[in-house]
């Protein structure tokens, strides 16, 4: 019983201190100062022509690119099977099987450019990439 009484007194003292300290913090509040920044900037818009749309996949080279996310390779393997079944004259290249250094999430412009150069070297007419997020 004595322990409970001591604990109760300690609890009351701690709560009192907490309330007192919080009142001090409120008393010392300063008004906020704001710096207004105009977010408008000058943006140079570069126009470019979009790639022409393919009317057929017959005889085309199709590159499949995987970025190493879970099950993306399984998805692309199935896409390859369907393409070979539906468009037998198309050349399907699984980039992730012929160049394992491209199996990654590109973290920089240089790495993206390197991967794009690898794909360009394959003379792809179409690239299908799986993100699988």
User: In the predicted model, what is the mean pLDDT of residues 67-76?
Assistant: 92
The two tokens of residue 66 are: 């995987």
Q: How far apart are CA 124 and CA 62, in angstroms?
A: 6
Q: For the whole model, what pTM was predicted?
A: 0.63
What pLDDT was estimated at residue 22? Answer: 59
pLDDT at 24 over 60: no
Q: Which long-range contacts (CB under 8 A, 24 or more apart) does 75-82 make?
A: 75/130, 75/132, 76/128, 76/130, 79/128, 79/130
What pLDDT was estimated at residue 117? Answer: 95
Residue 20 sits at φ, ψ, to 5 deg, of -65, -45
Helix, strand, coil shares of the chain, percent, nearest 5, are: 45, 10, 45
For the chain, the structural domain boundaries read: 65-130
């Amino acid at each position: 019983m004595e322990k409970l009484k001591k604990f109760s007194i300690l609890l009351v003292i701690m709560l009192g201190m907490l309330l007192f300290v919080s009142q001090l913090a409120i008393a010392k509040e300063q008004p906020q100062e704001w710096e207004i920044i105009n977010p408008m900037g000058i943006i140079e818009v570069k126009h470019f022509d979009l790639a022409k749309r393919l009317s057929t996949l017959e005889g085309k080279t199709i590159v499949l690119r995987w970025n190493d996310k879970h099950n993306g390779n399984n998805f692309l393997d199935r896409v390859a099977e369907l393409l070979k079944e539906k468009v037998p004259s198309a050349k399907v290249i699984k980039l992730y099987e012929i160049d394992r250094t491209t199996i990654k999430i590109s973290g920089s412009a240089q790495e993206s450019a390197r991967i794009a150069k690898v794909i360009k070297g394959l003379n792809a007419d179409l690239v299908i990439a799986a993100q699988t997020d």
